[in-house]
Amino acid sequence: MYTSRKRAGGSSLGNELPLLTPRKEIEYYSPLRSSRKGYHYGRYAEDMYPHYYHESIRRSWDLHNAALEDLNNKKAMIDLAKQNQELKHKIKEKHRKDKIALDASLKLYKLKQDIYGQLQEDSLKQLVKQKQRAIDDDVEDRAIHDILATHQDNLKGLTNSIFVAKEEKFKQAADDLHAKLSEIEARRLLDKKMSKNYKKQVKRLKNDEEYMTNKFMNEYQRIDYLNNMYNPYYVPPISGIGALNLGNGKKKDM
């Protein structure tokens, strides 16, 4: 009624296990000696379902490799974020140095303007003294005053044109400085926001790494447990990872 075959290894005594056996005879061949009757799935899983057994192991490793690849991608993204943060810090430092150089240029420009104004004032005073001396020497008063007025008008127009041009350049420099300061402030806020997101990503990555490590160890111990089921000297655990994954040695009802 039933067919049987000999298990590989050992003597023939006690190795002829039926492929199909009534439930009352299964308990004698069960390696776990469970009180419940029925066929224990983990014992002869490779014999009864070799394709499913090896396919499940392959899928477990595929899932593990995919998880590791995803973890490496996340680490690469975090490294890229660190590089971007360092680059932004260098740009911020460059803007700070540019601001210092611009302030120094503005101070130098103001100093040059003061010196130029003082020289113009001294030149004008010297000219007035010369003209006054000419008046004192009985030179024609009207001609002297006309020449002096013309010179003063020319000097005033020249001074005004110079100051207008310099004032426009100063305003342009001030506008550029204000724009750079606004950009620096915006980037500072962005760096602050990116720093918060970076901390969250690091925390999430640590949780994912711990979860995948535990999952891999559980899967590894489960596979090791299934492989050791073919060892006649192997004593299965009554508790722990192997017992938890395989039902603690309980047989399923058929």
pLDDT in tens, 143-197: 666 777 776 777 777 777 776 777 777 777 777 777 777 787 777 777 777 777 7
Residue 16 — φ and ψ, nearest 5°? Answer: -85, 100
On whether the pTM is more than 0.85, the answer is no
Please, what is the average pLDDT of the chain?
69
Which structure tokens are listed for 137? 């020497």
3-state secondary structure of 179: helix
Q: Which two tokens stand for residue 98?
A: 């540019």
Residues of the chain above pLDDT 90, percent = 4
The full set of domain ranges for the chain reads 1-40, 41-232
Tell me: the pLDDT tens digits for 23-65?
A: 444 444 444 444 444 444 444 445 555 555 567 677 778 888 8
What is the spatial distance between Cα 174 and Cα 180, in angstroms, rounded to a whole number?
A: 10
Structural contact between residues 188 and 92, judged by C-beta atoms closer than 8 angstroms: yes
Among the listed residues 4, 9, 33, the one whose alpha carbon sits nearest the alpha carbon of residue 248: 33
- Dihedral sign for Cα atoms in the order 222, 223, 226, 227: negative
Side chain identity at residue 183, one-letter code = E
- Greatest mean pLDDT among 88-102, 122-136, 159-173: 88-102
Q: What is the pLDDT of residue 50?
A: 58
Taking alpha carbons only, the member of 166, 163, 134, 137 closest to residue 147 is 134
- List the one residue out of 46, 34, 39 whose CA is nearest residue 249: 34
